[in-house]
Amino acid sequence: MKNVVALVASAALAAQGVSAHYIFQSLAKGTAKGQAYQYVRRNTNYNSPVTDLASNDLRCNVGGAAGGSTGTLELSAGDPFTFSLDTAVYHQGPISLYMSKAPSTAAAYDGGGEWFKIYDWGPTFSGGQASWNMKDTYSYTIPRCIPSGEYLLRIQSLAIHNPGGMPQFYVGCGQVRVSGGGSASPSPTVRIPGAFKATDPGYTANIYNNFHQYTVPGPAVFTC
């Protein structure tokens, strides 16, 4: 009987682990909460984050290499936008926004070109403690100076809550068409995979021991 009870308890814990997740599901203009997967490519790995730094899945998550069934959101340069999740981020770590210009349409683009970062939400240090911006929505604006065209707009949560374990990337890609843009050439740019190294201090940081400063992995943020 004890063995049966133990098996039931183990199964219950496993089920709780499977249900625990957060996914970037929607993208909308302004501060609205958009419709799930209308403009964000649907991932196929349910709650499993990407952990392989050499994987193309780092771009737009597992199942996100193409967006033929995903709409493309119309935005003007300088417009605000909001990514929303199914549940609030609960793993500590930075949130970052990236963009990559598509050669033709965003829907046909696999993200294999150059990416530039437009924003980081890193930790805030106060009184010897660090706090992270863990929410269910993240809002920012399209840079005013980037060229018009279609882009992948990528949001990334890097979970570093388990020192000594494998950091986890929770990623989502929206498809946007930017109008009224400028003529800037965003830099620096990186390729994904390739932008993140296993030796990056922000990737290997122990947030529970002598944690007083932090550098978000990836390139510097591009600004107009």
Give residue 169's identity as a one-letter amino acid code.
F
Mean pLDDT of 99-123: 98
pLDDT band at 159 (very low <50, low <70, confident <90, very high): very high
Answer yes or no: is 12 within a domain: no
- Residue span of the structural domain in which 148 resides: 29-204
The pLDDT value recorded for residue 12 is 35
Backbone region of residue 78 per phi and psi (left: phi > 0; alpha: psi in -120 to 50; beta: other values):
left
- With pLDDT > 70 as the criterion, what percentage of the chain qualifies? 91
What 3-state DSSP class applies to 202? helix
pLDDT band at 214 (very low <50, low <70, confident <90, very high): very high
Answer yes or no: is 14 within a domain: no
The pLDDT tens digits of the residues spanning 59-102 come to: 999 999 999 899 999 999 999 999 999 999 999 999 999 999 99
130 Cβ contact partners less than 8 Å away, ≥ 6 residues apart: 123, 124, 207, 211, 214
Number of neighbouring beta carbons within 10 Å of residue 8? 10
The pLDDT value recorded for residue 204 is 94
The pLDDT value recorded for residue 1 is 41
pLDDT > 80? residue 198: yes
Separation CA 16–CA 159 (nearest Å) = 19
pLDDT band at 164 (very low <50, low <70, confident <90, very high): confident
Separation CA 178–CA 14 (nearest Å) = 44
The pLDDT value recorded for residue 18 is 40
The pLDDT value recorded for residue 184 is 98
pLDDT band at 42 (very low <50, low <70, confident <90, very high): very high
The pLDDT tens digits of the residues spanning 9-33 come to: 333 333 333 445 799 999 999 999 9
The pLDDT value recorded for residue 13 is 33
DSSP code of 63? Answer: T
Nearest to 111 by CA among 150, 167, 169, 144: 150
**DSSP β-ladder status, 73-76 and 168-179:** parallel
What total number of domains does the chain contain? Answer: 1
Question: What's the CATH number where 122 sits?
Answer: 2.70.50.70
Q: Considering the entire predicted model, what is its pTM?
A: 0.90
Answer yes or no: is 43 within a domain: yes
Answer yes or no: is 213 within a domain: no
**DSSP β-ladder status, 124-126 and 137-141:** unpaired
- Helix H or strand E segment including 100: strand 95-101
The pLDDT value recorded for residue 4 is 36
Q: What is the mean pLDDT of the chain?
A: 91
Separation CA 129–CA 136 (nearest Å) = 22
pLDDT band at 163 (very low <50, low <70, confident <90, very high): confident
